[in-house]
Structure 1
Amino acid sequence: MSSMTVFRLIFLVMFLGWLLIWVLLPTKVYKNAWTPKLNDKLNSTYFEAQGTNLLLFSFPVMFIAAFGCVYLHLQKNLRKPNSRGVLTSNRRLSFLRRPALVMAPLGIVTAVELAFAAMFIALLIWSLANYLYISFGHLHMHKQGEKVWQAKFRSVSLRLGYIGNICWAFLFFPVTRGSSILPLVGLTSESSIKFHIWLGHLSMILFAAHTVGFIIYWAMTNQMVLMLEWSKTYVSNVAGEVAIVLALAMWVTSSYRIRRKMFEVFFYTHQLYILYVVFYVLHVGAAYFCMILPGIFLFIIDRYLRFLQSQRRARLESARLLPCGSIELTFSKSPGLYYNPTSILFLNVPGISKLQWHPFTITSNCNMEQDKLSVVVKRLGSWSQKLYQQISSSVDRLEVSVEGPYGPTSSHFLRHELLVLVSGGSGITPFISIIREIIAESTKPDGQVPRVLLVCAFKNSADLAILDLLLPVNAAPSNTPQMQLQIEAYITREGELPTEDNLKASPNHLVQAKPDWTRPLMQASATAIGYGLVQ
C-alpha cells in the first residue's frame, strides 16, 4: 500500500467520523450517554467546557486541512498532473464530474456535487426530526399558564436555529479559495461557489423563521420585553437581533439582480459578515461557535494569506492592445509557479482603485511560457476603461497587485479524443489556455492530444483579433505538427463579411513596459502551501 493511499484512507476515516458526530448530535444517545462521559475526559483547564466540542467538531477538519496540504504537495512532486497515469486514473471516476443536473436556478451540477447536496439535505431533515422528537417528548414550560401548543411553537422556532447552525458549519468551506480540502474531494473554489450561495439562502430562511417564530411566541405570551434582554449567562437576544439585521442586509443585496447590476453594493455590503459573525457568536455562545469554528478558522487563515500575497506588487512586462478593445497583460513570474489551464487571477490596480479586485482567466501556458503569465481584459466597464487609457498612454510602469492563481488541479480534457469548444465574445479566454496546453503537449515526442473544434461568435469583425492570442507572440506554429485545430468564427452584428484588408487595417499594438526582473510575479508563492505551487 502506497503512502498516498494511506493518506486517502486516513482522510476518509476522519471525514466520515466527523460526519458521524453531526449525525449523532441530535440523538438521545449523544446527549445522555456520550456527552457526560466525554466531558469528564476531555474538558481541560485551558478549554474548560469546550474541550469536547473542539475535539469532535474542530480537530478532524483541522487535521484534514493541515495534512491535506502535505498530501497535495507530495502528489504534485510524485507525478506530473497531466501524465498518462493520472489521466488513466481520472478516467475511472470521470462520470462523477459529468453534469448530472442542468436547470435554473441551480445551474450545472455534477454527480459528486449532487451527491454532497443530497447527503446534506438528508442530514438537515434527520437533525430537525430528532430535535423535535426529543423536545416534544420533554416539553418545558417557560411561563406559568403557557399552553402546550405554545411551548411546541417555541420549540420548533428554537430547533430551526439549531439547523441553521449546521448550515453555518459548512458555509465558509466553498469560499476558502486556497483550501486544501476542496481538491481532496475533486472540487475547486470556483465550482463550489454555488454551495456557498445555496447554504447562504438556506441558513437565512432558517434564521429568519427562527427570529420571526420567537417574536410571535413572545407576543402570544406577553413577553415582548425579552427582545431587549442581553443576558450575561444565557442567550443574548439583542445580539441575535443585531445579527439578523446584518444578515438580512447581506441577503437582500446578494440577490441576482443587485449582484449583476450593482456588484459593488453587493460586495461592500457582504463585508458586514465580520460584524455578523461577532454578534452571532455573542448570541449562540461558545459551545455552538466551536461547532462551526473549522470553516471560519480556515477562511480567516486563507484570507490572511491572500492579504499577504496581495501586498506584493507585480510590474507589467508588456501589454498587447487589440482592435476589439481587449488588452493582453503579461507579467513576469517565478518559473516554479505551476498552474493549470482555465485558472483565474485576481488583479488590483491601485492607480485606478485600491479596493476593487477583478478576476480574469489566465490565457498563457506555464509549459510554453515558464517565466511569463498573461491575462486578457475586455474593455467594458469603467474600471477596464481606465485601465485601457493608462495602457494606451504608454505608461512606463503599471503597479498591479495580484492574488492567485486559482484553478483545477489537473487537465482532464486531455483524455478525450475530440474537444468541441463553444464560446461567445470574451468567453473565449478559457479556451485560449486550453488550446495552448494542447499545443504544448503536442510538441512532446510521445504527445497524444485531442482534435479541437473551436466554434466562436463575436459581435463585430474587430473582435476576431482575439484569435491572435491562440499562440503566444514568440511561438512558432511550425513546432506544432500534431495539433489539429479547426476554427469556426461567426459575426453576429455586421451585415457584410469582413475582408482581409479590413482585418489588417487595425493591427495589434504592443506596449513594452520596463520590466523589473528583481520582482517577478508570485515570487513568494513557494512559502505559501496551497497558493499556486500546490495544486
Structure 2
Amino acid sequence: MSSMAVFRIIFLVVFLGWLVIWILLPTKLYRNTWTPKLESKLNSTYFSGQGTNLLLLSFPMMFIAAFGCIYLHVQKQQRSSYSKSSVVTSNPMFISLLIWSLGNYLYVSFGHLHMHKQVEKVWQAKFRSVSLRLGYVGNICWAFLFFPVTRGSSILPLVGLTSESSIKYHIWLGHLSMILFAAHTVGFVIYWAMTNQMAEMLEWSKTWVSNVAGEIAAVLALAMWVTSSHRIRRKMFESQRRARLDSARLLPCGSVELNFSKSPGLYYNPTSILFLNVPSISKLQWHPFTITSSCNMELDKLSVVVKRLGNWSQKLCQEISSSMDRLEVSVEGPYGPTSSHFLRHELLVLVSGDLLLPVNDTPANIYRAVQLQIEAYITREEEQPTAANQKLLQTIWFKPNQLDSPICAASSAVFLVRKKENAIEGKQIQNLEVPTPAASPGSWLRGADTELESLPHQSLAQATKVHFGARPDLKRILLDCKASDVGVLACGPRKMRHEVAKICSSGLADNLHFESISFNW
C-alpha cells in the first residue's frame, strides 16, 4: 500500500469519526454516559467548558486541513496520477441527520423536562425545549457551512471538489441554518411573552448564554441573509485591486475580450475565474468571468470574455467601443481549482457552446504536442460567408497608467513590491503612444452560434474542421472514442450539459467519465 493511500485512509477514518460524534451528540448515551467522563478529563482551566467541544468537534477538521496541505503538496511533487474520489453529497442524507438529531434532543429533554417557573405549564416547557433544540440542530448546519466556499481549501481537493462547484451547497446550508435559527429566536420571544418573562430579552449573563448577544447576532444574521439574495448580492458585492487593461477586442458576435497584463510568475489552473469591477459603470457591482487564456502559453497576459447578457455587460461594450483612451478596472482573483485533475485522462473531449481561438504568437509545437482536434458546428450558416459579409474584429489598445498594476498573486508582500515597481515603470510609460489597429488580421466570423477567430498557425488550421448548417451528433462522437479512459467536460447551456451527461451515464460505454463545468451560481 502506497503512502498516499495510507494518508487517504487516515483522513477517511478521522472524518467518519467526526460524523459519528455529530450522530451520537443528541443521544442519551452521549449525554448521560460520555458527557460526565469527557468533561472531567478534557475541560480545563484554560479552555473552561469548551475543551470537549474543541477536541471532538473542531480538532478533527483542523487535523485534516493541516495534514491535507502536506498530502496535496507531496502529491503534486510526485506528479502522481489523480485517483478519482467518490463524492456523495445527498440532501436527503443531511436532512435525515437533522431530523435524527432533533428527534433525539426532544426525546431526551422531554424525558427530563425542566420547569423554569412553578406556574409554568408542561406544554410551555416543551415549547421552550423545542425552540432551544432548533438552535442545537442549527449548529450542525454551521459545522458544514463554510467547507464549500473556502478558496484554496486543502479539504475539498481530497474528495475531488472545488469551491466553485460547491457553492450551491453553501447557499443551501445557509438558507437552512437561517431558517432554524430564526425559528429558534422567534420561539424564545414567543415563550417569554407567554410566560410573562419579556425582561429575559435584556439579560446579559456572565456565566451562561447571553440573551442580548444572541439577539444582536440574530439581527445581524438576518441582515446578512437578506443582503445575500441574488438581486442584492449582484449589485453590492465589493473588493478592489486596479489592474492594467492593455487592450480589448470587440468580437463579431457582440462579446468583448479583455486582455490584462499579468505577472509572469502568476499561475492559475484552467476554469479559474476573475471578478471584475468597472467603477465608471458601477462602483459596487462585481461580476465573475472565466479566464480564457492559459498561463502556460501566455506568460504576461490574462484574458476574459464578456458576453452581452445584461445591463452591466451592455454598458461595458458601449464604453469600450466609444474610442476611449483607457478604462479603469479593478479585479479580484484569479480563483479556481487547486489542481487540473481532469488532465489525468488518456483522452479529453471538451463540449462547449462557443469556440474562441487565440491570435497570439503561441508556438505551433504546443498544438502538435497535445494532438488537438477541433470540430466546429455552425448551426445558423449553411455555408462559409463570403469575404464581403465577414465581420472583422476590432482591437482597441488602452494607454497605460502608473496607478494600474499587472495581475499578480494576492498577498500583501507582493502587492507592496509591485506598487514600487509600478511607480518606476509608470514614469517610463507615461508618455507612451500606443497604436490602435482597426482589426486583428485574419479575423472573421463563422456564424452566430459559434465563433472561430484567426488561425495563426497552419498546424492549428489543420486541426480544425468546420461544419455548416448541422448540429453535432454527440452520441456518435462520444461513443466513437476508443481510448480506455475518456474524460468528457461539458460547459455551456444546461440542456446541452444534460444531454452529454445522459450519454455518458447510459451504460453504452464504460470508458466515458463525465464532468460538468458551470459558472452560474
Q: Same fold (TM over 0.5)?
A: yes
- Give the CA deviation at 1:387: 4.5
Q: How does 1:258-269 map to 2 (within 5 A)?
A: 259-260=230-231, 262-264=232-234, 267=236
Output the CA distance in 2 between the equivalents of 1:382 and 1:14.
Answer: 49
- Quick one: structure 1 residues 418 and 316, their matched pair in 2 at CA, closer, same or farther if it must change by over 3 Å? closer
Give the SS at the match of 1:15. Answer: helix
Task: Report the counterpart of residue 160 of structure 1 in structure 2.
Answer: 134
Q: How does 1:3-82 map to 2 (within 5 A)?
A: 3-79=3-79
Q: How does 1:265-304 map to 2 (within 5 A)?
A: 267=236
Output the CA distance in 2 between the equivalents of 1:328 and 1:346.
Answer: 14
- 1:403 partnered with 2:314: no
- Give the CA deviation at 1:484: 2.5
- Give the CA deviation at 1:167: 0.9
Output the CA distance in 1 between the equivalents of 2:181 and 2:101.
Answer: 16
- Quick one: structure 1 residues 338 and 125, their matched pair in 2 at CA, closer, same or farther if it must change by over 3 Å? same
- 1:315 partnered with 2:266: no
Correspondence for 1:200 among 169, 174, 181? 174
Output the CA distance in 2 between the equivalents of 1:525 and 1:248.
Answer: 32
TM-score by length of 1: 0.66
- Quick one: structure 1 residues 202 and 416, their matched pair in 2 at CA, closer, same or farther if it must change by over 3 Å? farther
Alpha carbons 1:349, 1:399 under 8 Å: kept: yes
Task: Report the counterpart of residue 415 of structure 1 in structure 2.
Answer: 345
CA deviation map 1:190-235 (0-9, x unaligned): 1111111111221122122223322332333233333343334333
Higher mean C-alpha deviation, range 244-253 or range 64-73: 244-253
Output the CA distance in 2 between the equivalents of 1:252 and 1:351.
Answer: 27
CA RMSD of aligned residues (A): 3.5
Task: Report the counterpart of residue 234 of structure 1 in structure 2.
Answer: 208
Task: Report the counterpart of residue 374 of structure 2 in structure 1.
Answer: 485
CA deviation map 1:226-261 (0-9, x unaligned): 334333433333333333333334434545xxx14x
Partner amino acid, structure 1, of 2:195: T
- Quick one: structure 1 residues 479 and 201, their matched pair in 2 at CA, closer, same or farther if it must change by over 3 Å? closer
- 1:122 partnered with 2:115: no
Partner amino acid, structure 2, of 1:421: V
Q: Which has the higher helix share?
A: 1
Output the CA distance in 2 between the equivalents of 1:45 and 1:204.
Answer: 33
Alpha carbons 2:278, 2:330 under 8 Å: kept: yes
- Quick one: structure 1 residues 353 and 75, their matched pair in 2 at CA, closer, same or farther if it must change by over 3 Å? farther
Partner amino acid, structure 2, of 1:489: I
- 1:180 partnered with 2:154: yes
- Give the CA deviation at 1:141: 0.8
Output the CA distance in 2 between the equivalents of 1:525 and 1:77.
Answer: 23
Correspondence for 1:522 among 408, 412, 417? 408
Correspondence for 2:89 among 98, 104, 113? 113
CA deviation map 1:305-328 (0-9, x unaligned): xx8xx65x5423433232334322
CA deviation map 1:71-108 (0-9, x unaligned): 2222222117xxxx43xx43xx5xx4xxxxxxxxxxxx
Give the SS at the match of 2:377. Answer: strand
CA deviation map 1:462-496 (0-9, x unaligned): xxxxx4x32343247797464322212345xx9x9
Higher relative contact order (CA 8 A, sep 6+): 1
- Give the CA deviation at 1:381: 4.7
Give the SS at the match of 2:88. Answer: helix
- Give the CA deviation at 1:147: 2.1
- Give the CA deviation at 1:379: 4.4
How many residue pairs match? The answer is 410
Alpha carbons 1:348, 1:401 under 8 Å: kept: yes
Give the SS at the match of 2:376. Answer: strand
* Percentage of identical aligned residues: 67
- The runs of 5 or more residues in structure 2 that have no matched partner are 415-521
Task: Report the counterpart of residue 342 of structure 1 in structure 2.
Answer: 271
Higher mean C-alpha deviation, range 350-359 or range 118-127: 350-359
Output the CA distance in 1 between the equivalents of 2:357 and 2:77.
Answer: 29
TM-score by length of 2: 0.68
Task: Report the counterpart of residue 327 of structure 1 in structure 2.
Answer: 256
- Quick one: structure 1 residues 386 and 41, their matched pair in 2 at CA, closer, same or farther if it must change by over 3 Å? same
Task: Report the counterpart of residue 102 of structure 1 in structure 2.
Answer: none
- Quick one: structure 1 residues 397 and 58, their matched pair in 2 at CA, closer, same or farther if it must change by over 3 Å? same
Give the SS at the match of 2:205. Answer: coil
Alpha carbons 2:234, 2:287 under 8 Å: kept: no
- 1:359 partnered with 2:292: no
Task: Report the counterpart of residue 360 of structure 2 in structure 1.
Answer: 473
- Quick one: structure 1 residues 397 and 147, their matched pair in 2 at CA, closer, same or farther if it must change by over 3 Å? closer
- Quick one: structure 1 residues 243 and 523, their matched pair in 2 at CA, closer, same or farther if it must change by over 3 Å? closer
